[in-house]
Structure 1
Amino acid sequence: MEGMERKGETEQKPDGLPKRQRFVVLAIMMSGTTAACISQSMMISALPTIMHEYGVGASLGQLLTTSYIFTLGLISAMTAFLVHRVNSKTLFIASMLCFVLGCAAALFAPNYPLLLAARLLQAGGAGIALPLIQVVALSVYPKSEYGRAMGLVGLIIGFAPAIGPTISGFLIDFWGWRSVFVVLGSVTVVVIALAFPLLADVVKRPSAPERFDVPSGLLYTLGSCAIMAGVTLAESGGGLALSAIFAFAAGAAALAVFARRQLRIENPLLKLACFRSRTFTVSTMLVLMANMAFMAGSIMVPLFVQDVQGASAAVSGLTILPGAVLLGLLNPVTGRMLDRHGPRPLIAVGCTVLVTGTLAFCLLDADTPEWVVTVLYGVRTVGVACLMMPLTAHACTTLSTADIAQGTAIITSLRQIFGSIASSALIAVMASASGNALGIDAFGFGVSFAVQAALIAIGFVVGMVFLPRAASASKG
């Protein structure tokens, strides 16, 4: 009997890892990736303080968060190439070292431009770690348990950014905003120390590694940056100025050339041929929509609590904490529901709940009790939990094992880039509709959430009409 148990512990499944090795690998990588994910939202509670200290407005200040997420998305596009060329252990440690350097630079940044540059360095490390943990999770679990694998990853992708404002709120109130980088850097140093002796390489690499296509990388970066610049110019200028229109046009042209090139070359940067699968296309679209709602809410609600309702950074963080906890708890549950019932029930429930919670936010004002804001934020996170990670897993079930790294890179990159651009655009809507110099008031806040509700409703219709019905019948 003892021999059978020992054999069961060490024998590898055809398409997964033994539980003990799976636990060690995921525990270390999830710990480091949690710090990187938490960092993307920890500046939210610090924005009012940083804006006053450096004399910048909301449109410029929010770049500390949206540019971080945007850069994370750009770097994520390169990870499919990196995963196929570099040992996963080495790649993870390198990403953590980059993140630590960014924390150190931010800690001593004397002005806003250098602080922003430090944030981009942090994002470089996060941009490698985030898609890497998804590839690793899908590598150590069998395909029949992809929903569970993405549910576990969802604990950090959804939960970590959501609790960032809460943790940073307390740190800022007691020790100032620079203490955020001390905590993040210290945690990451510990993770690196554990990774050297304990982490294993678990991702299979092709015998003939692909070459990096430099023109594709340049086109993707320039196109995405141009569109982000167009959004920023429109936001700061209060409308579609000629410079913003030119940036949008240049970005769209570059991305069109990029997409055409990906479909023609042998080793694309992003294998856009994955979108020939309708399931992958529709699932990815719904993931982008859910992430837009999640990111916009996590940035705008703390701003509303602090600048409209006059509460402290700690209070604004506590306002969204219950929703963050709920999101973390629900991600594994919705992953298992996907394995058992398919995506369509989750789409129906998720979009309905998300639209309801978003429309309710349109009615808030400065006198709304904090508990109401907390409850409504929690309602929206239920909808996000039904959509974001389950649909990521569902999209990947249509891909071959060799294309998993490409699929996760595509979804992670588009999710982050679209989320940051959409969040900036929604903040621009709020600023243009607001009646004060800061660009934040109850009316502008409500208008921005009404736009979100309309986009979510469109996503619901597309998902229910175009997602193949046969896919929803699959059982885990």
Structure 2
Amino acid sequence: MNTIDTENAEWREQKQLKRAPIMISLIVGAFFAILNETLLNVAYTDLIEELEVTAATIQWLATGFMLVVGVLVPVTALLNQWFTTRQMFFGAMILFTIGTFVCGISPNFSILLIGRLIQAGGTGLLLPVMMNTILVLYPPHERGGAMGTIGLVIMFAPAIGPTLSGLIVETLHWRWLFFLVLPFALLSIVVSSIYLKNVWEVTKPKVDIISILLSTLGFGGVVFGFSSAGEGNGGWMSPEVYIPLGVGGISLLLFLWRQLKVKEPLLDVRAFQYPMFSLATVQLMIMMMTLFSTIIILPMFLQGAATLSAFITGLILLPGGILNGFISPVVGRLFDKYGPRMLVIPGTIIVMVVMWFIAGITPTTSIPALILLHSLLMIGIAMVMMPVQTNGLNQLPRRYYPHGTAILNTLQQVAGAIGVALFISIMTAGQSKYMASVSDPTAPIRQVEALTAGVQGAFSIGMIFAVVGFVLALFIKRSAAHPEA
């Protein structure tokens, strides 16, 4: 019996389930949960005015969201072994729906923040559920296509968020950002109650409270510290930055040590003994940081230096997001057929070249050129992220699936926080350096030139990350399915 026949035999029981309805149930819920990560991005100005808070305070709607997801995702490896697929999905969607409703009716900033944190709880549970379900339902040689479909959701939803947000805020009210999502969240719960089936075994391992506490302090401290640095409140030497980073770093070291000592670890870091999984982890973190250097810094440049409206900025970024989403399933099918190298190496080359061009943008760069560069960047990232992730997870034995998906999702969230902090810090430092060199820093033209200099510096560092990603891509090879997969 050849390898494919063996895989088909091992997955025969799962294949008897109707996979399409299960995937549709998961995708509908995930789309709107992930959409909310970027849906508020262009509404912050309205929120600052109406809720009478500062920009530093309003940033907590983003920082708090990342913090909850960063803390919660590592625990999903345990939760996936304690609760069924249906229980996990319903729990995630009910949390998300409640949070969305609270945000919509919130009378002040505090209630809005509570709603966002509840939303984040649902989102943090949802992504690992989706990926773990794919690993169980599909044999390794079919996972690329399934992961590509998930990639459409993961990349397309946040890509249209700013555009959709700009349209809603300009024509309705910011509360409709939440009210319009509510019916779809409820629809997802109804559809999943009919079609979603339990696909993994509940083993109920021992709960290690110490590991949960160390994980929460570790990942929470790191995400909070980097996010605080990204907000620009005192920079890296602020106590709000170095204290959480110090506590988080020490807690993570203790967490890793404990995971290697206990019999039933919360997050089994032994998954890193598989080289393609380790390579995938580093590659995904680099891609996330490169991605964030664009989706955070580029809108700031378009609105601040090129003086475009939030809605027009969203429209400029929309084609790239749509292309990224719709190319992901194609990339997944190509991965199943040809493996990762023919996708990941060209993908990293595209990212590297585009970042070189973006590092030279100015306020006079034409809108068609910006759309082309951003679209090519999103295509390159799509060619890298899902193939690398699928290839890394394919090498793991089945017992590591919950741990592998939790590790990748957690570290991508941490990489996102690091990316935001790092590139905003580089941009701010570039602005300050330029201002110090001019005679009249209050002149509007000098402020535009300073922002341009800062943005170019940030993108130049992004290009260096892209080069590292290309070098790593040269070492990737197709993972043979583990005998215990």
Q: TM-score scaled to structure 1, two decimals?
A: 0.89
User: Deviations along 1:249-290, whole A, 9 cap, x unmatched?
Assistant: 222111111111111111111110000111110111111111
Aligned to 2:6: none
CA distance in 2, matches of 1:131, 1:197: 21
CA drift at 1:383: 1.5
Aligned to 1:185: 182
On the 8 A contact 2:293/2:458 being kept in 1, the answer is no
Structure 1 residues 73 and 240, CA, compared in 2 at 3 Å: closer, same or farther?
Answer: closer
- Calculate the aligned-residue CA RMSD, in Å: 2.6
Aligned to 1:452: 462
Aligned to 1:407: 404
Amino acid at match of 2:453: F
CA distance in 1, matches of 2:55, 2:351: 26
1:240 correspondence with 2:236 = yes
Aligned to 1:250: 247
Structure 1 residues 153 and 62, CA, compared in 2 at 3 Å: closer, same or farther?
Answer: same
Aligned to 1:356: 353
Aligned to 2:133: 136
Structure 1 residues 424 and 176, CA, compared in 2 at 3 Å: closer, same or farther?
Answer: farther
On the 8 A contact 1:44/1:299 being kept in 2, the answer is no
CA distance in 2, matches of 1:143, 1:16: 13
On the 8 A contact 1:15/1:140 being kept in 2, the answer is no
CA distance in 1, matches of 2:270, 2:139: 24
Aligned to 1:307: 304
1:227 to 197, 207, 222: 222
1:216 to 211, 216, 219: 211
CA drift at 1:233: 4.2
Aligned to 1:203: 200
On the 8 A contact 1:348/1:464 being kept in 2, the answer is yes
CA drift at 1:96: 0.6
User: Deviations along 1:310-364, whole A, 9 cap, x unmatched?
Assistant: 2222212111111111111211122222222222232321211112222222222
Query: Which deviates more from structure 2 when the two are superposed, residues 287-296 or residues 98-107?
Result: 287-296
Aligned to 1:8: none
- Aligned residue pair count: 459
CA distance in 2, matches of 1:177, 1:328: 26
On the 8 A contact 1:70/1:417 being kept in 2, the answer is no
SS in 1 for 2:261: coil
Aligned to 1:76: 73
On the 8 A contact 1:15/1:141 being kept in 2, the answer is no
User: Mapping of 1:266-277 within 5 angstroms?
Assistant: 266-277=263-274
On the 8 A contact 1:73/1:415 being kept in 2, the answer is no
Structure 1 residues 202 and 45, CA, compared in 2 at 3 Å: closer, same or farther?
Answer: same
CA drift at 1:70: 3.8
CA drift at 1:463: 3.5
Aligned to 1:6: none
1:464 correspondence with 2:462 = no
User: Deviations along 1:366-411, whole A, 9 cap, x unmatched?
Assistant: 3333222221111111111011111110011111122212111111
Structure 1 residues 315 and 229, CA, compared in 2 at 3 Å: closer, same or farther?
Answer: same
Structure 2: segments with no counterpart, 5+ residues: 1-8, 436-441
On the 8 A contact 2:395/2:481 being kept in 1, the answer is no
CA drift at 1:297: 2.1
Q: TM-score scaled to structure 2, two decimals?
A: 0.88
CA distance in 2, matches of 1:51, 1:361: 31
Amino acid at match of 2:202: R
Query: Which deviates more from structure 2 when the two are superposed, residues 59-68 or residues 411-420?
Result: 59-68
1:346 correspondence with 2:343 = yes
CA distance in 2, matches of 1:101, 1:434: 41
1:320 correspondence with 2:317 = yes
User: Mapping of 1:427-442 within 5 angstroms?
Assistant: 427-434=424-431, 441-442=451-452
User: Deviations along 1:7-38, whole A, 9 cap, x unmatched?
Assistant: xxxx995264247x111111111000111111
On the 8 A contact 1:46/1:168 being kept in 2, the answer is yes
Aligned to 1:292: 289
Aligned to 1:97: 94
1:420 to 417, 430, 439: 417
On the 8 A contact 1:131/1:412 being kept in 2, the answer is yes
Runs of 4+ residues deviating >6 angstroms:
436-440
SS in 2 for 1:78: helix
On the 8 A contact 1:41/1:299 being kept in 2, the answer is no
SS in 2 for 1:434: helix
> Sequence identity of aligned pairs in percent?
28
CA drift at 1:427: 1.9
